Chains A and B, each alone.
Chain A
Amino acid sequence: MKKFIFLFVAIVGIYVSGCKCKGTDCPCDGDNCEEELITSVVLTFKDSASTDSLVYAFRDPDGDGANAATEHDTIRLAADKTYLVSAKILNESVSPADNITEEIYEERNDHQFFYLFTNVNVNFTYKDDDTNTPPLPVGINTQWKTGAASNGNVQMILKHQPSVKDNKQTTGDTDVEVVFQTVIQ
């Protein structure tokens, strides 16, 4: 009987101790692991002919779910201009805000921004490349040449394409997807 109890307790003990998380199964500590939350997208437009700049943004400071977005701008650009556009991705749920653009730049070989224009006259070119062979665009810096006045939208997509980057917006996982109403006037 004593032997049995000893054995039983030992077996149960081994099992229970084996149930703790092992190595890579262990999640991050603390209450919140959302280091990677993206809350905001900011597009800065610099007119190449002047020093003027325009800033348009989408902000959802508490992430998906919970409350709706607090800012969702309409992009308003002048006709027949050349803009240098820089994209900034932020996590504004923490203070100070986390600039995720830097992280994306570091991993530019696995990321790409795509801009899809619907009913707006824009001649679009990428202004940056990664270090893949052959180099592929990244899209943090882009150039938009506006044409005649028009009204439509721009869909901005950031794709995470780990080891499969191929300059196609259908590949990989979507990190960001925002549609901005866009007016060229």
Chain B
Amino acid sequence: MKKVVVFGLILALWGSVQAQNITLKGNIADAETHEGVPFATVYLKNTAFGAYADSLGNFELTYTPTQHDTLLVQHVSFFTYQQAIDFPKNSEIHLDLKPNRMVVACPIVDKRLQPTFTQTQNTLSGIALEETYGQNLGTALAKIAGVTTLQTGSTIVKPVIHGLHSNRILILNNGIRQEGQQWGSEHAPEIDAFIAKQLTVVKGAAAVRYGSDAIAGVILVEPNALRFHTGTEGDLHFVGFSNGRTGVISGRIGHRFGGKMNPLALQAQGTYKRGGNLQTPTYFLKNTGIEELNGSFMAEWKKENYSIETFYSHFETRIGIFSGAHVGNLTDLMNVFEAEKPADSANFSYKIARPSQVVRHDLVKTKAFFRTGNAGRLYITGASQFNVRYEYDKHRPRNDSLAALNRPEFRMHIFSHTLETLWEHARFYHFSGQIGVFGMFQNNDVYGRFLIPDYQTFTSGIFAVERWQKDKWEIEGGLRYDVRNTNVKAWKGKIAADTSFFFQNISANFGAIFHANEHYTFYFNAGKAWRAPGVNELYSNGLHHGSASIEVGDRQLQAEKAYNFILTNNFHNDNLGAEISLYRNYIQDFIYTQAGAARLTVQGAFPTFYYKQANAVLSGVDFYAHYTFAKHFTLQSKMAIVRAWNREAQTWIPYMPADRWENGIKISAQNWGKLDLPYLTLSGLKVWAQKRAPLDADLLPPPQGYFLFNIESGGHFHWKKQEVRLGLSVSNLLNTKYRDYMNRFRYYANEMGQNVTLRMSFPF
């Protein structure tokens, strides 16, 4: 086994640029020969501090710490290795760098080795991730430029990448594609954000490796790695939010055994969250409480030539849906639109009544790795997921005895079983690569009022990725072929018989990275991906109480084909770090909804939306920069613009995020009294009104733009021997009244007002 181990002593990642320097010491070694790897380049991605390893593989990197940095290790004979820098007090990190001849590593298989994606890739870890503790996954991801949210109120939040969401984004929870009812705009990802040690967003079609439907991007939720050395570690987090009087507690404990049991490591993690009615600047939102209970276990048996890992996670949440948003029909809807304040007023309460959602998600995963001689490595990953979703309407049954049972009006059960076999060939000259086979079976059962039918889906894919790397260039090409068969089961009264849908197509990817010099890196990626229409798009035919509208599917829909181009330019030097990314996504047969004639029912008229498809172009720019202009002072800026054009109807595509630009100033220092690495960030977020939305596509025109002030602050100190990490932040500082176009509840109520967050973490 060839293995390069980097023992790093990483001391800091943020703080004042002019503050005292930090020294990072480490060693890069070939584990098989135990010889050092000489003359590797070690540097920080954003600040360009760098060093060379000596002939024995030892290096010493002195740098001034900044936030959000990534350690890169480069060597002609090895892949570019990268790792987000950890907290300063985590004084030891272990980087299992696999030799280049073995792999184009697949990050989901071994999180410690991530080849740089040729798409745009952004990572949330360290303090940036800490600042999101207690928030849901969607809100946390929105810290990344180019990622926005699609919301149903403030508690149901879905990530949007480059204007696309739901089925067009793949979320990998510890390497397993999250499979629930992700088609629904009010169905948030069923993942505990506290499980993540690192959140990575790959923007752009990453279909070849992860599955054909990832036409907008991939989100990697990567848990804490299992402990490397014998011993016990863990952390405990407490978070309180003033708005909703929400409390969150989360803990993690990990252990690696010693002696003969040394190959065994365990980890358990759990989170509990409870919140009550949220508050807008002028009123409470009735029935917007939340309760969440999550847990996960991980165990690994790791030897030189094989390892086996098992992971189990449970997610369970009960979310109150703002009752003012469940309206009867068009008349009621119009009454609500005209009201200044929702008629359904309330005071503060933790009670979760109707309407509400109960969602549970269980995931069991087993992954095995074997060394296949000197030729390469084999990974087999199997997982089963069970997702349950109950929706309770506001409207209780008329019949009192039925009402007393308090049953959900709508229930969906989906089982997903996935199996992937992946073989990475050993490095051959400058080539490395992998081939794989993927299969998935899904069974979906629906009970209650009609929205979508029962179905079974079988998906299978075969793929190969090859990467060539030499000097300043990394070039990658990949191909994938998928088939998807969906069998829709007959459903009483509504659908006459079983119907089968078969889709097949090819995905392809070509990308290149050019490391021009230590300051500039260029990324280019061209990808083709496709997505079979979802069962909701084919069959939807029913009432959404949350939006008082009817959606009608179309069984003739074809698969979407996406042709995606991205160009990213990354620059960094001592004071300035900046990245700009341009993209263009041409989607043939893009599926969207269009308003049609209101449909008359016995309950009155309802706005009706029909699924349509047309060729579309989505293009845009993501930008971020940070510039240290004086001692202790750093300017930060982040911008995202997306334009989506329906080429056939010659009109804009609705429900696209409006332009946004966030600017801030950060004041930081090495220490302030007993407080280490204190910082304070003041930022302002400007979101423009979405003027590029066809008026006939929506019930109301998009709301006005808005401007919000936010404050973030934090620092570390020691209480006796215990390290304490503190954070205090205020969002919507001025309690501004606003509504956001990407929130489905914009028809009914204002967004959340001021929210003060206090975070405390105790690592041990």
Report which A residues bind B (CB closer than 8 A): 1, 4, 8, 11-12, 15-16, 19, 21, 24-28, 30-36, 38-41, 58, 60, 62-66, 68-69, 72, 93, 100, 103-104, 107, 111, 160, 162, 170, 173-178
Contacts and interface: CB of A to CB of B under 8 A. Distances in A.
Contact of A8 (B299, B394, B493): B299
A69 B599 CA distance: 9
B603 A64 contact: yes
A132 B604 CA distance: 28
Nearest to B550: A65
B494 A170 contact: no
Contact of B542 (A8, A33, A40, A64): A64
Contacts of A64: 542-543, 550, 599, 601-603, 606
Contact of A103 (B312, B398, B603): B398
A1 to B, nearest CB: 7
A65 B542 contact: yes
Interface stretch (B133-141, B281-289, B329-337): B329-337
B19 interface: no
Contacts of B542: 64-66
B473 interface: no
A16 to B, nearest CB: 7
18 contacts: A12-B312, A15-B314, A16-B362, A19-B386, A28-B448, A34-B449, A35-B397, A35-B399, A36-B398, A38-B602, A63-B450, A107-B398, A111-B398, A173-B328, A177-B331, A177-B602, A177-B604, A178-B602
A65 B600 contact: no
> 5 closest A-B pairs (Cβ-Cβ)?
A177-B604, A174-B328, A64-B601, A65-B542, A27-B411
Nearest to B540: A65
Contacts of B602: 38-41, 58, 60, 63-64, 69, 176-178
B364 A33 contact: no
A12 B364 contact: yes
Contact of A173 (B388, B395, B450, B543): B395
Interface of B: 261, 264, 266, 295, 297, 299, 310, 312, 314, 316, 328-329, 331-332, 335, 358, 360, 362, 364, 386, 388, 390, 394-400, 402, 405-409, 411, 447-450, 491-494, 541-543, 550, 552, 599-604, 606
Given A15-B362, A28-B407, A35-B399, 14 more contacts: A8-B297, A19-B316, A21-B390, A26-B407, A27-B447, A28-B448, A31-B492, A33-B407, A33-B447, A62-B494, A64-B602, A66-B450, A104-B398, A176-B603
Contacts of A178: 602, 604
Contact of A68 (B448, B492, B600): B600
Given A25-B358, A28-B447, A39-B602, A177 B329 contact: yes
A57 to B, nearest CB: 11
Contacts of B407: 24-28, 33
B552 A36 contact: no
Contact of A15 (B312, B331, B447, B550): B312
Contacts of A162: 396
A36 to B, nearest CB: 5
Of A4, A28, A58, chain B has the most CB atoms within 10 Å of the CB of A28
Contacts of B406: 24
Contact of A65 (B409, B411, B447, B543): B543
Of A8, A16, A65, chain B has the most CB atoms within 10 Å of the CB of A65
Contacts of A31: 447, 491-492
A12 B297 contact: yes
B656 to A, nearest CB: 27
A174 B396 CA distance: 12
B398 A63 contact: no
A103 B403 CA distance: 13
B322 to A, nearest CB: 16
A25 B602 CA distance: 29
Nearest to A32: B492
Nearest to B326: A173
Contact of A25 (B266, B295, B390): B390
B451 to A, nearest CB: 9
Nearest to B266: A4
B603 A38 contact: yes
B493 A60 contact: no
Contacts of B408: 25, 27
A29 B409 CA distance: 12
Given A15-B312, A36-B398, A160-B395, A65 B332 contact: no
